[in-house]
Amino acid sequence: RAKQWYQRRVRGVDPDLLDLDSQAYRAWKKSILLLWKTASQHKYAHIFMQPVTDALAPGYSATVHRPIDLSVIKRKVDSNEIRTTAQFHRDMLLMFHNALMYNNASHAVYSYTVVMMTDVLEVIHAFYSTHNQQQQTLKRSRASSIASQ
C-alpha cells in the first residue's frame, strides 16, 4: 500500500530516479548537489545557510510555520528525502517565500532574497531544461535500440 501511494506521489518522474541504486539516480543526485552548491555560493546565501531563530528574528516561529534553510535542504538531499528536482525546487521556493513573508519589503533581507531567488530559479529552470533534453535523448535512444532488435 505504501509503495502504491509513493508511486502515485511521484507520477511523471523517471522510474530510474526512484531506484536509489540506479545510475540515473546517482547522476541526478550529483547534479542536484552541484545545483545546491551553486545556490550556497551565492553572494547572499549566508542569510539562508542556517535556521532562523526567534533570537535573531523576533516572532519568526509565529509567522513561519515551515522553516527551512540551505542546510536542511542539503540534509534532505543527502538522506534521500528529496528525490526529485520538483521536491528540491519546492523546498528552495519555500525557503525564499518564508524570507519574503517574514521581512518587510523595505528591509534589506527582502531585497537580497528577491535577488537570490531570481538567480537560483534561473539555474533551476536551466537544470530542468537540460534534464528534460537528456531524458528525451535517452528515450529516443532506447526506442531506436528496441526497434532495431
Task: Give residue-wise pLDDT tens across range 11-39.
Answer: 445 555 567 778 888 999 999 999 999 99
The pTM of this model reads 0.79
Task: Give residue-wise pLDDT tens across range 76-135.
Answer: 999 999 999 999 999 999 999 999 999 999 999 999 999 999 999 999 999 988 876 666
Q: Residue 93: left (phi > 0), alpha (psi -120 to 50), or beta?
A: alpha
What distance in Å separates the CA atoms of residue 22 and residue 16, rounded to the nearest whole number?
A: 6
Spatial CA neighbour of 96 closest among 113, 75, 120, 81 = 113
